[in-house]
Amino acid sequence: MRTRWQRFKQSYMLYNFLRDPVAITSFIILAFLVFTSFAAPIIAPHDPYDSSTIDIMDAQMAPAWIDGGSSEFLLGTDAQGRDMLSTMLYGMRVSILIGVGAVCLQAFIGIIVGLLSGYVRRLDNILMRFADVQLSFSTYMVAIFIGAIVQTMFGVAGYDRVAVPLLIVIIGLAEWPQYARTVRASVLAERKKEYVEAARVIGLSRIRIMLRHILPNTLSPVLVISTVQVANAIMSEAALSFLGLGMPITKPSLGSLITAGFEYIFSGSWWITIFPGILLVSLILVINLLGDWVRDFLNPKLYKG
Amino acid sequence: MKLSMLKSTGKYSLLLFTLVVSAMLLAGCGSEEKKDAAEKAAPAAPEKIVLKLAMDADPVSLDPHVQLSGGMLQYSHMVFDSLTRYDKDMNFVPRLATKWERIDDLTIRFHLRQGVKFHSGNEFTAEDVAFTLARLKTSEDYKGLFEPFEPAKVIDKYTVDLITKKPYGLVLNMSTYIFPMDKQFYSGTTDKGVAKDLIIKTDYSFANENESGTGPFVVTSREQGVKTVFTRFADYWDKSGNVEEIVFSPIKNDATRVAALLSGDVDFIMPVPPQDLERIKSTEGLELVTMSGSRIILIQLNGERNPALKDPKVRLAMAYAYNNDGVVDKIMKGFATAAGQMSPKGYVGYVPELKPRFDLDKAKALMAESGYPNGFECTMIAPNNRYVNDEKISEAFVSMMSKIGITVSLKTMPKAQYWDQFDAQVADVQLIGWHSDTEDSGNFYEFLSMCRNSETGYGQYNSGSYCNTKVDELTLAAQVETDPAKRAELCQSAEKIQYDEAGFLPIHWQNLSWASKNNMNTEDIVNVMNFPYFGDLIIK
Amino acid sequence: MFAFAVKRILQAIMVMLIISCIGFAIKHNFGDPVRDLVGQRVTPTERAEIRERLGLNDPFMVQYARFLGDAVQGDLGQSYFFKKPASEVILKKAPATLELVLCSAFIITFLSVPLGIYAAIKPQKWFSRFIMGSSIIGVSMPVFLTAILLIYVFAVELHWLPSYGRGKTVCIFGWWDSGLLTLDGLKHLIMPSIALSSIMLPLFIRLIRSEMMEVLESEYVKYAWAKGLKPRRVWWVHAFKNTLLPVITVGGVQLGIMVAFTILTETVFQWQGMGSMFIESVERSDTSLMVAYLVFVGLIFVLVNTAVDIIYGLVNPTIRVAGRK
């Protein structure tokens, strides 16, 4: 018996991966970013969540290599006097959590609804109209509404503790219909194909056909959407911050850092916007590049053809 | 078969579409041109002097009495004209009233300017003043301010007496709010049989869409929230300004408003966000005018909700821990004046000695002596789109308090949701800004620091439930005191008590700012009330 | 077919009923509309009186029944802020948003199709890599940041384009304020529509590319190659036509979502459309306008989705129109 590790070592996946320099580079960068963000409490020079260490008099200091900068703050400070580098690392952690969490929730709801409505005729109309209702309520409204409910339940005291799960739920609930409609479209296209008919003829259960036969064949568009959706979810959170409904200002995410920097566009304190921007773009870039690779790999027609 | 079916589907959706379109056709197009008014306005000169103006919001109505707000008063100064108005040094200068004299304790007599015309062509007389005062007393927003007044007494065509029920020291302040409206124009009923002078907040009313004032500008076209065009009133009595047309667009977003000025799409913007002051100052061809304002930002501490905040030592410690100057310097970019009290300089209650008292060591010492030497936790709410940098100020407050062991859990929210929460006192610490609409100290105490009393309405915005009967007594005494020196003494004592007890934490007075191209006399037309007198603007 | 139409209309009505019902149920969470109508001086008692007069204190069912009763007669309520019927306000603002969305859709279609196809058929060329790379950067930039950077470069620094608003509009059909017919209006349209399309364009390029690559590997394309057809014919007729299907589906949904995305673009450019109207109505707690907007957007979604279903049937004859027995 080969161990799992041996099997993995000899797998086609690893082989394919090691032959693709873009994938390797992206993976290394992504791993590095994820590691630094989750290890932020250990490696970050300051703790931006500990407000007692922040001094307003340090506000808007330039990066260390520019006049007016201090070696204490490598990438400068923001408008509150927080160290940019540490705040970005902590913020990236929040962004990754929200992005991945929200997309998992979206995909979960969306795939179930999409499969059901694509495959079970009777549910189709109901579920799709339900998606229409959901789409009419933009993320912004869902945010205000759920935010209000949470506040009546927990009061204003613990908001900064519940903010991350709250935003995951908000963004997840607000944007699942895109998945549902995409999956449904693919299911509609697949269900008429011979292999589904064949599966039906040999008497497999509906659930089995849906999950084991149709679902894998609808994953390609789902993956394309997913990688973009992670970016979108992070973006949605930034947009909510822009409208004043995102992460609490004391625990900023990468998106809300950029939002905060938005105000400083004309002011000359470029580092407040540019650094989080570069970090966010590189994060999403590597996620997308890896997503492309996974898609190409998972798509059997592409590599066998 | 299939094709024909699809075609018919197309037909039905076409039908649906037609239905929607025909429904849409019922709505009109274009902004409401005020044709009558336009004809009476100045005939267009070949080289019209036009001012393109952008503010953060536009007037909600053409009826000056529909809402008491900064925006509506700015509008009133453009289209109407008040009996008196403030100059830059807060003195009263004659406008429609040329002079005034005190007849007795209750009466002041106003002599009116002669030969002044309304936009409708009617002549301005004392009757119009009486009509306007009566209308003010029916307005939900203004009736509180004009409660002390009896109906005005018309002496002759150009003389009118303003009479108060009790001796009242603020009659002249109030006369800046009386913008005479055209009695003849607003009398009678519309086609639908509704009185033309009715004040309606949420629906069509004659006054909401038509105006006839005596002011320098006539509204010639208006599309709410998009664009309003003001044209110079040809018969305006005061010839000091030369702007013939003002095209006013509201631009809500700060960065967009600044960009519009920098790109030359507009000539004049207000307000200017603090982070862009430097940029505008250093841009050639632009002029920046700032002035310390009178809107106080303060933080209210609720001792009823959180016992720790009832401890006098804790309150003082918090006052000592807050670095007013640091916030003004770093967050407000010098665009505010650090405050130790509510009354700004120039108000009767202002006491020069009451300075911000940042001293971290003292604060720590006070905390150690208090009942909470190890600190405590409390909650805080603040708006995030109401005051300049409100969210950042609150965040700075949180970090300053953490230095003396107080953990503040902050939640910020948009203003639409904020005020209900504020009234419900959902948090221990709440932030509010206040502008005294009488330009007088007493107004601060009445709304912000007198004991909460739902019957009298005093302390309506005192969400910290601060209560000191001595402050109440002093404020009530000041209301009926007409001798300015004695009033000042009363107000200053109240201010002092609040300072010593740290009844609340004053943060700063928000500055005012205007930016324009440098070919006009912006500096001369602006003032501390933030009512730019565009009628006096001269563009070279 | 008549049955299908009736069914769809019934569904549309149901959707709008549900939307309005939810809208009504949650509207008090958006603040008190009276608060924005009065100055700071008005007492709580007086505010309560105004609320009473506006019928805001009535129980939910009473208010909702009243709304439905009026809605049947085409009256979606009164906007507190605009002091006009809400439907009138929305229809006045609709052209601005529709023109913006239309223009962005135009940009997206005319750029994503050639770029997506190119990236699919020549995946190794540097230009393809450039397309894919920049599309990722495009998708990683928040709309409002793209918008302000555009303003900064083209309006503030270069003075080429106007920074805000719609510019000069012309009235057509008696009610539609169009910015498409004047040079000034078109100039004003450029930056907002680029900003709006910046988030969707990358998505479409990637979608078309991935679908196209998949189709290019299919048997019938290989067969077409084997027949010796010209590459152009294979790409456009055989391959591209078959990638359209999922693209249209996603496109339909995304077009709807774009209406939501206009909120940010409109806010930054001070574009007076439905998006900025909606956000302002939320800020002013103009709840009746808000509910009316929701119903209106619900209607648009239903219409768009119906259209998508129909086009879907046209493009792919093997899929039958939903609802047909």
Give the position of tokens 């040094």.
Answer: B89
Q: B332 and B198, same structural domain? A: no
Q: C223 and C128, same structural domain? A: yes
Q: C95 and C64, same structural domain? A: no
DSSP one-letter string for B229-249:
EEEE-TT-S-------EEEEE
Q: C260 and C137, same structural domain? A: yes
Q: B338 and B431, same structural domain? A: yes
Cα B538 to Cα B230: distance, rounded to the nearest angstrom = 16
Q: Which residues of A touch B (CB under 8 A)?
A: 50-52, 54-57, 59-60, 79-81, 144, 147-148, 151, 155-160, 243-245, 248-250, 262-269
Cα C70 to Cα C176: distance, rounded to the nearest angstrom = 25
Determine contact, residues B436/B294, Cβ cutoff 8 Å. yes
Mean pLDDT taken over chain B: 86
> Does residue B286 belong to any structural domain of this protein?
no
CA torsion sign for B249, B254, B256, B258 is: positive
Q: B444 and B371, same structural domain? A: yes
pLDDT in tens, B137-158: 998 888 888 988 999 999 999 9
Cα B449 to Cα A66: distance, rounded to the nearest angstrom = 48
> Does residue A40 belong to any structural domain of this protein?
no
pLDDT of residue C314: 66
pLDDT of residue B231: 94
Q: C58 and C113, same structural domain? A: no
> Does residue B42 belong to any structural domain of this protein?
no
Task: Please list the alpha-helical segments (H only) found in chain A.
Answer: 4-9, 12-18, 21-38, 40-43, 84-119, 121-136, 139-154, 159-190, 194-201, 206-208, 215-242, 254-262, 271-298, 300-304
Tell me: pLDDT of B177 over 60: yes
Q: CA angle C291-C297-C300, nearest 5°?
A: 150
Virtual torsion, Cα C35, C36, C42, C43, nearest 10 deg: 0
Which amino acid type is present at position C91?
L
Number of continuous H segments (helices) and E segments (strands) in chain B: 17, 18
Chain C contact set for B461 (CB, 8 A): 40
Q: B110-134: b or e for each residue (b if 16 or more CB lie within 10 Å)?
A: bbbbeebbbbbeeebbbbbbbbbbe
Q: B226 and B180, same structural domain? A: yes
Banded pLDDT at A251 (limits 50, 70, 90):
confident
Q: Which of residues 49-108 of C touch A (CB under 8 A)?
A: none
Where is the domain boundary, C72, C105, C124? C72
Q: CA angle A39-A249-B297, nearest 5°?
A: 150
Determine contact, residues B292/B341, Cβ cutoff 8 Å. no
Instruction: Measure A184 CA to nearest chain C CA, in Å.
Output: 9
Q: B196 and B227, same structural domain? A: yes
Q: B306 and B204, same structural domain? A: no
> Does residue A190 belong to any structural domain of this protein?
yes
Determine contact, residues C60/C313, Cβ cutoff 8 Å. no
Q: C138 and C22, same structural domain? A: no
Q: 3-state DSSP helix/strand/coil percent for chain B, to nearest 5?
A: 30, 20, 45
Q: B240 and B296, same structural domain? A: no
Contact B9 C91 (CB under 8 A): no
Going by C-alpha positions, the residue among C139, C136, C116, C312 that lies closest to residue C213 is C116
Tell me: pLDDT of C273 over 60: yes
What token pair was written down for B57?
């919001």
Q: How many residues does chain C have?
A: 325
Contact A57 B330 (CB under 8 A): yes
Q: C317 and C211, same structural domain? A: yes
Q: C116 and C22, same structural domain? A: no
Contact A51 B402 (CB under 8 A): yes
Q: B364 and B219, same structural domain? A: no
Going by C-alpha positions, the residue among C202, C195, C200 that lies closest to residue C100 is C195
Q: What is the CATH number of the domain that holds A135?
A: 1.10.3720.10
Q: What is the CATH number of the domain that holds C221?
A: 1.10.3720.10
> Does residue C7 belong to any structural domain of this protein?
yes
- Structural domain boundaries, residue C27: 2-72
Q: Is B454 on the interface with C (CB under 8 A)?
A: yes
Note if the bond before B64 is cis, omega within 30 degrees.
no
> Does residue B64 belong to any structural domain of this protein?
yes
- Structural domain boundaries, residue B446: 292-511
Q: Which of residues 228-267 of C touch A (CB under 8 A)?
A: 245-246, 249-250, 252-254, 256-257, 260, 263-264
Q: What is the CATH number of the domain that holds B371?
A: 3.10.105.10
pLDDT in tens, C125-150: 888 888 887 887 777 777 877 888 88
pLDDT of residue A157: 66
- Predicted TM-score of the model (pTM): 0.82
Residue B299, C-beta contacts closer than 8 angstroms, at least 6 positions apart: B322, B397, B429, B430, B431, B504, B505, B507
Residue B431, C-beta contacts closer than 8 angstroms, at least 6 positions apart: B297, B298, B299, B300, B380, B381, B382, B383, B387, B390, B393, B394
What token pair was written down for B419?
């005020």
CA B104 from centroid of its chain's CA atoms: 32
Q: How many domains does chain B have?
A: 2
Q: What's the average model confidence in pLDDT over B485-490?
A: 91
Q: How many domains does chain A have?
A: 1
Q: C66 and C94, same structural domain? A: no
> Does residue C81 belong to any structural domain of this protein?
no
Report which of residues C225 and B373 the model is more confident about: B373
Q: Which of residues 458-497 of B touch C (CB under 8 A)?
A: 460-461
Going by C-alpha positions, the residue among A215, A220, A240, A72 that lies closest to residue A140 is A240
Specify the 3-state DSSP secondary structure of B509: strand
Residue C212, C-beta contacts closer than 8 angstroms, at least 6 positions apart: C116, C117, C120, C121, C239, C240, C243
Q: C222 and C171, same structural domain? A: yes
Q: By mean pLDDT, which of A224-228, A272-276, C46-50 is the weakest?
A: A224-228
Q: B185 and B313, same structural domain? A: no
Name beta bridge partners: C85.
C78
Q: C172 and C53, same structural domain? A: no
pLDDT in tens, B190-237: 888 888 888 988 888 899 999 999 999 999 999 888 889 999 999 899
Q: Closest CB to A266: pick one of B279, B413, B417.
A: B279
Q: C309 and C175, same structural domain? A: yes
CA torsion sign for C178, C184, C186, C187 is: negative
Residue B110 φ then ψ, to 5°: -110, 130
pLDDT of residue C121: 82
> Does residue A37 belong to any structural domain of this protein?
no
> Does residue A11 belong to any structural domain of this protein?
no
Determine contact, residues C269/C104, Cβ cutoff 8 Å. no
Q: C217 and C264, same structural domain? A: yes
Q: What is the CATH number of the domain that holds B69?
A: 3.40.190.10
> Does residue A289 belong to any structural domain of this protein?
yes
> Does residue C82 belong to any structural domain of this protein?
no
> Does residue C157 belong to any structural domain of this protein?
yes
Q: Which percentage of chain C shows pLDDT scores above 90?
A: 0
> Does residue A175 belong to any structural domain of this protein?
yes
> Does residue A15 belong to any structural domain of this protein?
no
Q: What's the average model confidence in pLDDT over A80-102?
A: 89
Q: B210 and B79, same structural domain? A: yes
Cα B422 to Cα A156: distance, rounded to the nearest angstrom = 12
Tell me: pLDDT of B516 over 90: yes
- Structural domain boundaries, residue A173: 63-298
> Does residue A23 belong to any structural domain of this protein?
no
> Does residue C147 belong to any structural domain of this protein?
yes
ipTM of this complex > 0.85? no
Contact A242 C142 (CB under 8 A): yes
